[in-house]
Structure 1
């Protein structure tokens, strides 16, 4: 390596990496020092527009990070994804490098090409120490990415219970909505994270929050066939006959998906057996249309109208 450094300090490989990139990536401090003494470009970029500092951060080499920064490396250089070294550091477990970058003035809320901040990224990998550091240094707790998702949306979706607890304790908006108007509770329901759902509800999450389709968390829970979460939501006061933008109730959803146990749960908790959607279709119409015989039997046994007419004057039998 040293011979290459001596003879070809500005050489680049097929990835447009200079010897300084490689030395930083492999943790070769001596080579880094030699190359810098020869005046190589400290912020040279490779094919991904990453500088040697990006690479030193990724390989968690604190000494090389310190050297590069002391020699003037751009602390907020961005790669092709608009990620700064701090973005990279946020997904490692190296608290020291994060502290170094921040102490040297790294932008705490720099956004990548998806408008995600380092906190968004740290949350997704549940690096709690790094999350706490970023927040303590002023990271925006409710920063939104290109899809309007906050760090809490990500933590809830990933089932990162401790990250959720941390964010909420620091004031994260419990009912923040993303581009689909989904709250963190919607996200936790979709990914079947019961403990996260319990936490969010205990902290005041809106049990009947509606997304852009007017779906509540209960609508989503029965679609997923998640009885534990469905039971939790109902026990906490979820509206059993909440309607979406087509006037469909959770029972319509459960019937559509053939979720027999979910149908039983909803009916036992007072769901309207013959609720009609915007096309005057009842859950029995839906179950018959989808061929869910067990659900049809259940609904009929509970008094569903076998002669109910849709907007097109169709009975459930006609749709079977």
Structure 2
């Protein structure tokens, strides 16, 4: 969620442009957001500081007419014919979590995780297996000059982990998310840091598709190339022939906002600590069957942080 100061700065800019002392210079502005989600991050700020940073604590709020959406389109869009009752029940559960009305033992601060969303073994390896299977191996390392190859055996080169290079042993599978580590083609959106999903693994290229941005769902081919680090700190020049990608298995709860994911595994070795984090994490999937959660609590409960001042106003 955006800090209220951003909206207020835009308001003043519109008033200056329109030379009219009305909210946003008399222009109609449409906002989109969900106060159940994570609020603005305030460094070293407490609960009051965070709540005070929201749009609801701005002078603009009295001029805003809230229009509420009551249908979970993420669940509705992808459901199968026999999933309606299950998804409808889960949709109501998610709303109660987001608004802090889902309780456990009379406490609003804790919720019971639905049995279907639990990993029976409570083992992180089983959580990983639920989300991903990894079964493709592509590797190749060598020194640039033949003389250097005499002193540095292949096994040693393979063991090196260097910043800016993909790992020697790159394990991939169709469906896993990856992040690009080189600028390949800016015009096609293939820039360093681009996130993609693998759709096919071919002998010398990876076929992948964009997961966000203006190239959403566009398929591209990523070749295996020779990568030479410019500042490795090694006494020799290393050339690693590999696909210029790294696996991007996980994301923070904050980064998950706005995402729609096929499968989600939530690992909570420690409880959430901020408003909306649990709601965001549990609402990214298109079906409750696609969600699994692990906590360190044997009672299958976890903390749910909700600032009711923001929800109830």
Q: Normalising to structure 1: TM-score of the pair?
A: 0.21
The structure with the largest strand share of the pair is 2
RCO greater where, 1 or 2, for CA within 8 Å and sep 6 or more? 2
The structure with the largest helix share of the pair is 1
Rg larger in 1 or in 2?
A: 1
